[in-house]
Amino acid sequence: MPLQIPDPVLGVRTKGFPAHVAGMRLSDIAGAGLRLSDLVSPVLTVQESAMAHNEATVFSWAASQGILLAPHGKTTMAPALWQRLLDAGAWGISVATPWQAEVAVEAGVPTVLIANAVVDRAAARRLGALLDADPQLRILCWADSPATVGILADALVGAGRPLDVLVELGGTGGRTGARTIAEGERIAAAISATPGLRLAGVAGYEGPFGPDRSADSVAAVDAFLHTLVDLHQRLDYPDGMRPVLTAGGSSFPDRVAAVLGAHGDDADLVLRSGAFQIHDDGFYSRMSPFGPLLGTPPLRSAMHAWARVVSQPEEGLALLDAGRRDVPFDIDLPAPQTVPGRITALNDQHAFLALAPGSTVNVGDVVRLGLSHPCTAFDKWRVVAVIDDPDAADPRVIGAVATCF
């Protein structure tokens, strides 16, 4: 179904875009004839063909495994990119907060999975109002304690439609989530006994149990996923309910499919991977199983930053005009891709580029940067340019997408 896609008027506050497009709508950018050289550094871009490749690769693989996808919308917070995922066959869109859920509902997403507990009473009441206003809308959220169930119960007294709630299971050393199966059973019983709530499945996040792709990490991830299955099999769901069994970041989708895959007859198996659409040149390029491990094409990084050399104060050092306000740095620093060297540090508006011996740049040169972690790249940009080919001498700007951060 078509979403409501933001189409803002561009202006001086639109970082990265030139002054002469001020007054144009975002939807006009595709026909404006812009090139990368027309944009104002620093700038973030996404590549159309890389996104299409990643979407086709992951959705094809998921279909072969009997896995449904509810990609994490918080990665980009861009309804135009959510639209691509829904068009490709996504079961729904995942989000992390009630506010993000409201953005998704306003855009027209029909199934919104809040991959988190909702413990704000006002937010919970708002979810109830949204459900009452649209009989076709489905919202699901998590609970990892009876206290959470109590907050939802208080907020949804008199609600016209029940809110679907999944028991969130975690584990020692994990993030949120009940720490034992027995706790999970108690939470499920509380949900089932509460008017206005409906027990809808079991959820968890396996990422904290595997910081890499080592055998020990994979074994820990598998062990956690087996606890999700165990809890799911112990629960009594309402008549007519097809429960949701959901896990998955973008690092271990293969393990989710392997462990949860045998239970597709009695549950909707929903994978929440969100980073695959954009991918990266850092963390996910190291962690993703797509490629030889799964016998699929490898994913491609669709995002790049472009920064200009603003200073060469000493031999072997160049300063670029992209910093912490522009590029992600929470997992890896950006990596220069068009000149040998490495980024050693970021300030708010500068990157320190240590040049490899024998390599040179000039003040005013533009350097392409590979990035790590799309979630913390997109949140720095309100409009992101879409280009055709980052390897071209001067890539064409073929569109733009607006984010809702």
pLDDT one-digit tens code per residue, 273-289: 999 999 999 999 999 99
The model's pLDDT over 159-171, given as tens digits with 9 standing for 90+, comes to 899 999 999 999 9
> Within 10 A of 194 (CB to CB), how many other CB atoms are there?
21
Q: Which of 281, 224, 219 is nearest to 248 (CA)?
A: 224
Q: Which CATH number is 19-47+299-402 given?
A: 2.40.37.20
Phi, psi dihedral angles at 399 (to 5 degrees) = 165, -170
Distance CA 97, CA 81 (A): 19
Say what the pLDDT of residue 147 is.
97
Domain positions in the chain: 19-47+299-402, 110-273
pLDDT band at 258 (very low <50, low <70, confident <90, very high): very high
Say what the pLDDT of residue 184 is.
98
pTM here?
0.96
CA distances from 115 to 31, 208, 361 (A): 38, 15, 45
Mean pLDDT on 188-210: 96
Say what the pLDDT of residue 296 is.
97
Judge whether 356 and 340 are in contact, CB under 8 Å: yes
CATH entry, 110-273, from 3.40.640.10, 3.20.20.10, 1.10.1040.10, 3.40.50.620 = 3.20.20.10
State the average pLDDT for the chain: 96
Q: Is it true that 19-47+299-402 and 110-273 share their CATH fold?
A: no
What tokens were used for 162? 């029940």
The model's pLDDT over 46-59, given as tens digits with 9 standing for 90+, comes to 999 999 999 999 99
Mention every residue, 6+ apart, whose C-beta is less than 8 A from residue 182: none
Q: Does the structure show a pLDDT above 90 at 173?
A: no
- The secondary structure element, H or E, covering residue 124 is helix 121-133
Say what the pLDDT of residue 275 is.
96
